[in-house]
Structure 1
Amino acid sequence: MKLTKTLLATTALAATSGAALADGHMANELTLVSWGGAYQASQVKAYVEPYLAMNPGVTVVWDESSAEATAKMRAMNEAGNVTWDLVDAVASDAMRMCDEGLIEELDHDADLAAAPDGTSASDDFGDLLVSDCFVPQIVYSTTFGYRTDMVGDTPPTSICAIFDLDAYPGKRSLQKRPIDNMEWALYCDGVAKDEIYDVLGTDEGVDRALAKLGTIKDQVVWWTAGAETPQLLADGEVVFGSTFNGRLFSAIAEQGQPIGMLWDMQSFDLDGWVLPAGLPEDRKARAMDFLKFATDTQRLADQAAYISYGPARASSAPLVGKHAELGIDMAPHMPTDPANSGNVHVYDYEWWADNRDDLDAKFQAWLAK
């Protein structure tokens, strides 16, 4: 397990501690599971550090295992030893864990903060509350970056450039999972966007997607952590690479890497918090206290000052301003900006929640060939 303990506050509990600690009913250690890299850093800055400043004596432990959240939650549940308190998960994984009883159902209006104008949390999050067990934080996309100095005089404008080895020779990096890769493959094999899931729901459609991916398989570097593609691009080891748009923003705007963004057919998705089922009351109380704070209007807007993901609350959007360190306007770097969202892939959470295990097995078998 990639466990990194980050001691962000070690101040002894004193008379000035918040009421949350003074009443003695909350645990003083909180284990948060996230994705590492620039995204986790944005969480630390936007709401972990402010929360700990308000709650002296609380310690946060980070585990960067979100990519494996479902499998690890299953294992912990079976062992009767759940060591996580809040887990950052994508929407489809949250749906699966919810269906399996691995995470708690929440009362969004009772458990979360209302908007500053009194709008209920459920109305403020709106359609992004895709599961009773899920509290969305961000709208993000999985999209492609490319080395600007490795694509000649014709930078790619279409997602299908990743399959064109003649025009753009070199390695590509793709996430080691069927999600997005299968949809992009079918789209670039001529399937209309509104028919992708109908086709993918058949054995023939799965074979067709894998055959298309097979045309570049020997040129693919498979990644599991979002930080890998920006590093591969920075090192010039790949010409194209898929990853989360915020990771690419960090590489381009903050690090000045020679990387361009390919927004065509970016795959919209949601990411948010889930609460493991069966926590002891003191740990659950601490997790819920943090959850309410970390998902309020201001905190989600603050996160957008560190990474280019759109906040999930409607009330947060008007508060998004400039990058906290670079001073640049963040709105044009959001996946939802009109200039970036002319041709998007709307990820079907429910379809993947229903079909993920089967497609994972087929995809892994294909990789092993």
Structure 2
Amino acid sequence: MQLRHLALSGALGLALAAAGGPADGRDLTVVSWGGSYQDAQRQAVFEPYKRATGKALVEDSWNGGIGALRAKAEGPATWDVVQVETDELVLGCEEGILVPLDWAKLGGKDRYLPEAVHECGVGNIIWATVLAYDGDRFKDNPPKSWADFFDTKKYPGKRALRRGPRQALEFALLADGVPLDQVYKVLRTEEGVQRAFAKLDSIKGDLVWWEAGAQPPQLLASGEVVMTSAYNGRISAANRNEGRHFRIAWEAGYVYQIDSWVILANSDKKEEALDFIAFASQPQQQAKLAELIPYGPTRVDAAELIPEAVRNDIPGTPGNRAYGLFFDRDFWVDQVEKLTERFNAWAAQ
């Protein structure tokens, strides 16, 4: 993945480094998910922040994982603000690698959805992992369920899932006939976990694994896969920016959750980091981001600023709410490391 660095270079950078100082000339570093999503963030948040404050900002990107977060929390700081998933937020806070936030500087907890409020993080977006396919390929009989995704006779060809147990196990159970509202109840049992892995095993030879959010649209565009799990906003961005005709099968069922901004405990720019998060969390910035890529806002006063035409593409809105399964934070905080180890062993077989 391409990493974007705007740090000082050349003789000036060397001079500043030699001079030392509190941060040795290092600018605030904000880490997100790359691709079309980070492109939208740059337009809605990063560039407006730089213009409003006159401060520099360095971008970086990552693919997630509590292990990667732990590694960055050791030694000298290179990351300050990071966008994380729910289990990374909770585990990172419990382990002390993230710092508690001053909610007074973020406008107060009552300005946000309850699910977006945490001691060490503030919700940034509501996003979903969905079933996506190329509408040009399936004009007459498109896939409409996760059972279709797992049916390689009806829909021959490779299909893709995000590498790891998160969402893959939920979708496997949906494909195996578990009702949406029973998925986590089943997954909490050993029999349910075995059932999910057995379902994945049934198409293991036809699976392609992706890690970065930019990959699913690329896999569809190249024809390498006939359908894939994907982040809803990446599919919309590919249609808008590249003229694709990708489709989302909302009715298949999707898992949605909240990403959060956090500050690493080893950051030497905690005050500036909090100022950035406060700026990024303004309703105008959240609404602009949703307009550029359809992820939902977490500020209660941002929704009314989003154009009507965009709202139906946002997960959890009336047009698709009935098909959504909210990510079970407690389950994954408790099980993510154990199930990731189990998934990796299964994938290596």
- Give the TM-score, by structure 2 length: 0.90
The residue identity in structure 2 corresponding to 1:265 is G
Aligned position for 1:245: 232
Paired position in structure 1 for 2:294: 308
Instruction: Work out which of the residue numbers 53, 61, 64 in structure 2 matches 1:64.
Output: 61
Structure-1 residue corresponding to 2:15 = none
Cα-to-partner distance string for 1:76-128 (whole Å, 9 max, x where unaligned):
33x432311100011221111111111011232x120x3xxxxxx31121312
Runs of 4+ in structure 1 over 3 Å off: 24-28
Counterparts of 1:81 and 1:29, CA distance in 2 = 14
Aligned residue identity for 2:207: V
Question: Which residue of the partner structure matches residue 299 of structure 1?
Answer: 285
Partner of 2:19: none
Secondary structure of 2:113's aligned partner: helix
Computed over aligned residues only, the root mean square deviation of the Cα atoms, in angstroms, reads: 2.2
Unaligned runs of 5+ in 1: 13-23, 115-120, 323-328
2:323 to 333, 343, 347: 343
Looking at structure 1, the residues matched to 49 and 264 of structure 2 have their Cα atoms a distance apart, in angstroms, of: 21
- The whole-number CA distance in structure 1 between the counterparts of 2:348 and 2:225 is 22
Separation of aligned partners in 2, 1:192 and 1:259: 26
Task: Choose the corresponding residue for 1:235, options 203, 210, 222.
Answer: 222
1:235-285 residue CA offsets vs partner (Å, 9 max, x unmatched): 1111101111000001123322132111121111111201111322xx112
CA contact (8 A) 2:130 2:255 kept: yes
Alignment map for 1:168-207 (pairs within 5 Å): 168-207=155-194
Paired position in structure 2 for 1:92: 87
Task: Answer yes or no: is 1:111 the counterpart of 2:75.
Answer: no
Instruction: Tell me the CA shift for residue 42 of structure 1.
Output: 1.3
Q: For the Cα contact (< 8 Å) 1:66–1:88, is it kept in 2?
A: no
Whether contact under 8 Å (2:121, 2:261) holds in the other structure is yes
User: Counterparts of 1:1-369 in structure 2 under 5 Å?
Assistant: 3-6=3-6, 29-56=27-54, 58-68=55-65, 70-77=66-73, 79-108=74-103, 110-112=104-106, 114=107, 121-151=108-138, 153-263=140-250, 264-280=252-268, 283-321=269-307, 329-369=309-349
Partner Cα separation in structure 2 for residue 27 and residue 298 of structure 1: 31
SS of aligned partner of 1:104: coil
Shift, 1:184, TM fit: 1.2
Count of residue correspondences: 336
Moved more, 258-267 or 145-154: 145-154
Per the TM alignment, residue 27 of structure 1 is displaced from its structure 2 partner at its CA by 7.3
Where 1:154 maps in the other structure, the secondary structure is coil
Seen in structure 2, the aligned counterparts of structure 1 residues 172 and 271 have a Cα distance that, compared at 3 Å, is same
Describe the SS at the equivalent of 1:279: coil
- Please give the alpha-carbon distance, in whole angstroms, between the structure 1 residues aligned to 2:137 and 2:202: 21
